[in-house]
Each structure stands twice: as structure tokens, then as C-alpha cells.
């Protein structure tokens, strides 16, 4: 399976102007409708998720598939509680994840997996050039890539990434309701919400790394998981 960017449908000059003014843009339809649905299906049905969270000391904590299947449920609950408690005072997150940075992780997917095809596209020079053309930035080099799945109660508290030249989220969620939560929220220095992006299928959001942002916690009554692939560019 291979995926291709649909680059002819976008007003690149308009996006560059908007990014220069606001430090963030979003565009719909960078993949064909069929390809976007294939990625969504792969995230929903064909991905061996890990659990990504933060421990009580504020350090990333990853529970592998093996650990999720073998650990005592009470130990898992203690680690979930630590992530929630940490969220009260600082950076914390809790969501499903699958790393798309290492070669081993990509090999484990297999070349026929839609996520393998998407990762191959995103790691290509063409995708970096596409993002440069949309934002007016130059010398972008992809450093990390991860698939994420948020379930009811999952979250990512307010954070920035000043070392990143550009970050992005390519969302593959459909039939979402805004009251289910899960929006990328952009925060002002005074704590107000300057803007938000609702989960949508085939929706690519790009934003400057130093923008304070969070992912709103999913409501207990959210009708489906929130799926996306997120990445981080640095300067060459």
C-alpha cells in the first residue's frame, strides 16, 4: 500500500500568511477520502497499542502490550492514578500510543499496514517540503512520529515544545461531536483559550512548537476513541 499527498487543492500563499499571523493552521483533505478511511480503520482495528502516561515524578511511562496483559490490575490503576494526580499540578498525559519513529516499530507493522504507508509518507522529503510550503518555514527535519488514541478520560495537559520548529497532528477521527472533548486547545498567557481544533477525519493541523496547548479530556460519554498521528520537526 502507498499513500500520496493531494497537494493541488491548497492555497499555499494563504496558509503561509495565516501561519505568519497566528502560528497555526489546519487543512482538510491532504489524503484521498478512501486512504484516510483506511488509516482510520487501521488505527481502530489493526494497531497494537501501548499505554502512554506520566509517572508521579513527571517522567514518561510506557506500558507495553505484554505489561498490560500481565501486570496486576491494581498496579495499572496505581499508575493511572499517578498520571491523574500529576495533572493537577503540571505536565501529564494519558492515552494510547504506538511509536512510528523507530525502524523496529515500523517493521513490526508490516509493509501492508496503512500506518506503515502513512509513516513512510510523513518521513519523506516530500512531506517536509509540503509543510515548509504551507508555513513558510525552511530546513525542517522530522524528529519523531507517534500514533495516538484517546479514550474517555484520556488527556494531555497544557504544554509547549520550544525546541521544535514545527509540530503537527494529522487527525483520523470521524463523526465526532464537539461536546465529547478531545480538541487541541491553544492557551493565551493569561490562561484564556485562544482557539481550538475539533477532531475530524483527514484533518492536518500544524502549529509552532512554542504555542501553549493541551488536548481536552474526552468526556465519559464520548462515543468513540480519538485517533491521530502526531509529529515533531526540528531545524536541520
pLDDT of residue 1: 82
Residue 154 has phi, psi (to 5 degrees) of -70, 160
Segments of the chain with pLDDT less than 50: none
Chain position carrying cell 499513500: 3
Question: Cα–Cα distance between 207 and 210 in angstroms, integer?
Answer: 9
pLDDT score recorded for residue 63: 95
Kindly report each contact of residues 125-134 with a partner whose C-beta sits within 8 Å and lies 24 or more positions away, as own/partner. 126/5, 127/5, 128/233, 130/5, 130/7, 130/30, 131/166, 131/168, 131/206, 131/233, 133/12, 133/16, 134/10, 134/12, 134/15, 134/16, 134/19, 134/25, 134/27, 134/206
What pLDDT score was predicted for residue 38? 97
pTM: 0.96
Amino acid at each position: 500500500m502507498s499513500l500520496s499527498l493531494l497537494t493541488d487543492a491548497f492555497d499555499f500563499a494563504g496558509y503561509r500568511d495565516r501561519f505568519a499571523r497566528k502560528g497555526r493552521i489546519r487543512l482538510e483533505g491532504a489524503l484521498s477520502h478512501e486512504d484516510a478511511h483506511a488509516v482510520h480503520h487501521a488505527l481502530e482495528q489493526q494497531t497494537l497499542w501501548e499505554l502512554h502516561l506520566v509517572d508521579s515524578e513527571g517522567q514518561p511511562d510506557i506500558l507495553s502490550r505484554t505489561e498490560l496483559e500481565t501486570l496486576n490490575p491494581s498496579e495499572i490503576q496505581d499508575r493511572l492514578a499517578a498520571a491523574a494526580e500529576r495533572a493537577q499540578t503540571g505536565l501529564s498525559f494519558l492515552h494510547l500510543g504506538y511509536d512510528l519513529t523507530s525502524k523496529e516499530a515500523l517493521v513490526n507493522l508490516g509493509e501492508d499496514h496503512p500506518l506503515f504507508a502513512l509513516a513512510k509518507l510523513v518521513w519523506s522529503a516530500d512531506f517536509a517540503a509540503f509543510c515548509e510550503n504551507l508555513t513558510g518555514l525552511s530546513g525542517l527535519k522530522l524528529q519523531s512520529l507517534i500514533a495516538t488514541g484517546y479514550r474517555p478520560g484520556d488527556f494531555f495537559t497544557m504544554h509547549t515544545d520550544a525546541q521544535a520548529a514545527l509540530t503537527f497532528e494529522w487527525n483520523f477521527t470521524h463523526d465526532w461531536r464537539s461536546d465529547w472533548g478531545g480538541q487541541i486547545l491553544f492557551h493565551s498567557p493569561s490562561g484564556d483559550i485562544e482557539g481550538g481544533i475539533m477532531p475530524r477525519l483527514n484533518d492536518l493541523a500544524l502549529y509552532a512548537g512554542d504555542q501553549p496547548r493541551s488536548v481536552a479530556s474526552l468526556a465519559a460519554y464520548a462515543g468513540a476513541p480519538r485517533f491521530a498521528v502526531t509529529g515533531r520537526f526540528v531545524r536541520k
